[in-house]
Amino acid sequence: MDSGADVLLRGDVDGDGQADFEIQVNDLAALGANDLLL
């Protein structure tokens, strides 16, 4: 990925293979390992 790129995280919570939610992360370079808890 490019530094400063945006990314879209998608999650499937019911197992049907379709995204049930999306989270857009702007400026991925500013995201640290401790910023997400799955």
In the chain, the number of structural domains is: 1
Cα(25)–Cα(9) distance, integer angstroms: 8
Q: Which residue has the higher pLDDT, 33 or 2?
A: 33
Q: Which residue has the higher pLDDT, 18 or 33?
A: 18
Q: What pLDDT does 20 receive?
A: 97
Residue 38 domain-assigned (yes or no): no
Residue 4 domain-assigned (yes or no): yes
Residue 35 domain-assigned (yes or no): no
Residue 36 domain-assigned (yes or no): no
Q: Which residue has the higher pLDDT, 34 or 16?
A: 16
Residue 20 domain-assigned (yes or no): yes
Q: What is the dihedral of CA 8, 38, 36, 20, to 10 degrees?
A: 30
Residue 12 domain-assigned (yes or no): yes
**26 is in which domain, residue-wise?**
1-30
State pLDDT tens for residues 3-32.
568 889 899 999 999 999 999 988 877 778
